[in-house]
Amino acid sequence: MAIYNKRYINKILTDPLPELLEDERIYLNVSYNARGFAKATHCGFDPTKKLWFTGLHNTYLPNLIKLYGVNNSTSEKAMNSLKTYLKSLALKDNKSDSEKR
């Protein structure tokens, strides 16, 4: 019984990706060779679509998009949310740059 609990706790600590609904998933074009990095950056794998995905709350999201790009399987709702999120990041960056001057 103690071994089961230890494995369960280790899984929770090492796999913090929350359950995402289909229309919240942002699918990425991750190659097979880069799967280890995707796993390390808290991405999940959808075995039916055979694609890696993440959500808007992933702190590595902007970098993941730059590296791999967004797959066409991403829902329209998720794409709209992603565009809004990226615009808000751009506004924050512009604001912080103007404050530095």
Q: Which amino acid is at 36?
A: G
pLDDT of 85 above 90: yes
**pLDDT tens for each residue of 64-77:** 999 999 999 999 99
- Per the structure, the complete domain to which residue 32 belongs is given by 18-100
Q: What is the pLDDT of residue 90?
A: 86
Specify the number of domains making up the chain: 1
Q: What does the alpha-carbon distance between residue 96 and residue 99 come to, in Å, rounded to a whole number?
A: 5
pTM for this prediction: 0.75
| 1 falls within a domain | no
Helices (H), the chain: 2-14, 35-40, 61-68, 76-100
Joined together, the tokens standing for residue 62 give: 């902007």
Identify whether 8 is part of a domain.
no
